[in-house]
Structure 1
Amino acid sequence: MASNEQKAQQLIAEAEKKLTSSKGFFGSLFGGSAKVEDAVECYQRAANLFKMAKNWTAAGSAFCEAANLHSKAGSRHDAATNYVDAANCYKKSDVDEAVNCLIRSIEIYTDMGRFTMAAKHHQTIAEMYEADSVNLERAVQHYEQAADYFRGEENNSSANKCLLKVAQYAAQLENYDKAISIYQQVAQASLESSLLKYSAKEYLFRAALCHLCVDVLNAQHAMEKFVQMYPAFQDAREYKLLQTLVEHMEEQNVDGFTEAVKDYDSISRLDQWYTMILLRIKKTLNDNPDLR
């Protein structure tokens, strides 16, 4: 029995032969388009055999060939589907190629007015870049584009999920103004929904912490504004922590600041993002020349 890879290679050779014979004058007279369809099927079958053999690069390449043929034949939906199939294979072996394939599918979907599909694939690209911390700026770009398309299709829930990712990484990249603007925007949107109202507290907390990275006075003004937006925020543990941190920052009390964070963390675990932001705020205290 031939291996899956050998069978796949035979199918690719068969596809190439069909394409060569369909190009000539007689080929176009005698079922040229049927031969192209047969070649597409050969590439797709080969791709699936490569998948079974876990040869992801070859599988991605075969799906790409099928997508290119669909594209030339004007079968845009089938082309986009095969580019996505190719991307799913390349994800396991070559992220750059996976991104290229998804971008080609996005171009087709946007041209067809299928913006929800385009948004989902921008989101997939963002998640791939997210896994590689070197490419966070690119992740942010694709999350923003996804949010824009989702919002255009009135899918505000998915748009806000993408925007929250943008805010998270904008803060990580020290673009605090952008993060603050998004957290406030999503908090405002949450307050307009009885189901999402409670989550506004977290977004206002995050926005206030970003303010503290920049300036204590601005943070205090923001906190007053947040309480006007959402009066219940004043009774939250998050708000009380913010008040305590502001007091310790004004007193330049590093130990008090550390203790307040520890106390809060003992009840509500702070994730990696919060820890990173709080350490940056604490560093502004450590760097203050008045403490030396």
Structure 2
Amino acid sequence: MDNSGKEKEAIQLMAEADKKVKSSGSFLGGMFGGNHKVEEACEMYARAANMFKMAKNWSAAGNAFCQAARLHMQLQNKHDSATSYIDAGNAFKKADPQGESVDLFFSFIKSPPFCLQGRFTIAAKHHITIAEVYESELVDIEKVQKCYLNVECCEMCLLKVASYSAQLEQYPKAIEIYEQVGTNTMDNPLLKYSAKEYFFKASLCHFIMDELNAKLAVGKYEEMFPAFSDSRECKLLKKLLEAHEEQNAEAFTEAVKEFDSISRLDQWLTTMLLRIKKTIQGDEGDLK
């Protein structure tokens, strides 16, 4: 059967499922004598969703999975409901990264079933999924930050919040997170290597706000984490502070180029360094 045939069969299944739900007493009446019909309808919605997936009608698949998820919740099948919502989210991610479907899914994962009875992990996973959609498809920094803020208990998500906070010029929040994560990792033998990166990023955020604050921050991080002193990141910071104090844009650029020749700058670091460099008189606005 070709894809159009699958889609037609899925549409027919959806219609039959709708009839079973209505005949059970109402959408919310399944708990009062119509459970068998609701169970059948739930199975039909799930089958229809998979057929829509085969036909690559992702929006219809997402809606069908949501119908199944809501019926599972009505039947107190919380695990099956969560699984169906995961499937819905994956379908919506492919269907409509520009807004409506993702926003609809966002409203589902903030509903009570995911906020009660230990569903925080599932909800967090979905927030991350949505954040990744905004991150890769929309380049919508504020929406990405909002999603990661909903799962701040996760260290990876905290770092995402810090990254986007800095891009939104919310430097105190970014500094707070980078310092927190850096402090938590510097005594861990397996993670301490990453601490220098977090203190480096916190220092750059300080630097953008105020040169003196940056100097004090670098000194504090060296005292807290002596290994930071010998890092290439710390040495770069000191060169940049000296160049900035002398208002020497050329020296600033040379220090960055030297660092970049060994450790390639990513987009975030490039953005932060450009913001600092632009405060130097006579700066031409790039790092080349």
TM-score w.r.t. length of structure 2? 0.88
> SS where residue 220 of structure 1 aligns?
helix
Deviations along 1:202-260, one digit per CA (max 9) or x if unpaired, are: 11111111111111111001111010011111111111111111111111111111111
Using the TM superposition, name which of 123-132 and 248-257 deviates more: 123-132
Tell me, yes or no, if the aligned pair for 1:57 and 1:90 is still in contact at 8 Å.
yes
In structure 2, C-alpha distance between the alignment counterparts of 1:202 and 1:16, rounded to whole Å: 55
| 8 Å CA contact retained: 1:119, 1:147 | no
| 8 Å contact kept, 2:211–2:241 | yes
Alpha carbons of structure 1 residues 110 and 91: separation in structure 2 relative to 1, 3 Å: same
Deviation at 1:38, TM superposition (A): 0.9
- Which whole-Å CA distance do the structure 2 matches of 1:258 and 1:62 have between them? 55
CA distance 1:272–1:134, shift in 2 (3 Å): closer
Counterpart for residue 115 of structure 1: 120
- 1:23-38 equivalences under 5 Å are 23=25, 32-38=34-40
Equivalent residues of 1:86, 1:98 under 8 A apart: no
TM-score, structure 1 length as denominator?
Answer: 0.87
Correspondence for 1:155: none
Q: Which amino acid aligns with 2:143?
A: R
| 1:100 aligns with one of 104, 111, 119 | 104
2:216 equivalent to 1:221:
yes
In the alignment, is the contact (CA less than 8 A) between 1:122 and 1:143 conserved in 2? Answer: yes
| Aligned-pair identity (%) | 54
> Where in structure 2 are the equivalents of 1:56-205 lying within 5 Å?
56-95=58-97, 96-107=100-111, 108-132=113-137, 135-148=140-153, 159-205=154-200
Aligned counterpart for 1:269 among listed residues 257, 264, 269: 264
Q: Partner residue of 2:243? A: 248
What residue in structure 1 maps to residue 15 of structure 2?
13
Query: CA-to-partner distance for each residue in 1:6-62, whole Å, 9 max, x for gaps?
Result: 1112212221232333339xx99xx73211111111111011001000011111111
Unaligned runs of 5+ in 2: 284-288
CA distance in 2, matches of 1:179, 1:20: 51
Give unpaired runs (5+ residues) of structure 1.
149-158
- Cα RMSD for the two superposed structures: 2.2
More helix by share: 1
Q: Which amino acid aligns with 1:277?
A: M
CA distance in 1, matches of 2:281, 2:74: 62
